[in-house]
Structure 1
Amino acid sequence: MKPTAFSYHRPSTLDDALSLLALHGFDAKLIAGGQSLAPMMNMRFAQPAHLVDLNALPQLKGVTLEPDTLAVGAMTRHHELATSNTVRADCPLLAEAAATIGHYAIRQRGTLGGSLAHADPAAQLPLIASTPGARFDAGP
């Protein structure tokens, strides 16, 4: 099966992405790696009218250690979680879990934000995130 028709948007700023989401509301879906969303669209479990691609927004990526907090951007790929020295030192459980996700292509494209947003019951990261008492912020 193939997805239903949709409009594709690739904003170059976070403000543009937020404007698209405000404009299209529940008819829009965010996409980064697409490892969770694309199969759902192909099976028509998800039928967004608009896809908003976040790949041009580098401020949503990366791992930093702040006082008492390991901050991980929503666009951080599974591979980066698995190989980051910061993650390995501060939250080794997260690094180990990320290293076992799917296969090579999934780890290269899949993102922490996508995994958490789709909350697949078979996914490792939603469970791992709840284990150390993770906090989720919906802000830049």
Structure 2
Amino acid sequence: MASKLRGARETQRTYWVEKLARRREELREKGFDERQIEKDTAVRKLKAKITDTNLRLAAIAANEKKLEDMARLREEKKAAPQKEKGKKAAPPVEEPKAKKKKKKEEGSEQPVKKEGKKKAEKAEAAPEEKPAAAE
């Protein structure tokens, strides 16, 4: 796993920069021009390593800044006088219940009518059968 410590990443960065400088020097000694050196795969890989390390260092710096800001905010919050907690006002309970009752009444009227008809039909059919069965 890659290190999340600033010191370790800075050490890695210096290592990759030195290795890139050595590789470029070797290629110059062999007679390569700058264009060919930049196209060399080893040089490109070393540049990518340096870029990755720089990005990681930037992320570490951003994280450290965030931690410092959070610590500063915590200290400010502790230093600020605490507000007195008052009793919360009870919300009006009657109005919502009245609305719910209206909804229940409106909603229950329709099913009651339907059920009333069905029950009435069953009640009419049931008494006719009961006396016949009883006799």
> Where on the TM-score scale, by shorter chain, does this alignment land: which range?
under 0.3
Name the structure where strand makes up a greater proportion of residues: 1
Instruction: State which structure, 1 or 2, has the greater radius of gyration over its C-alpha atoms.
Output: 2
TM-score by length of 1: 0.19
Name the structure where helix makes up a greater proportion of residues: 2
TM-score by length of 2: 0.20
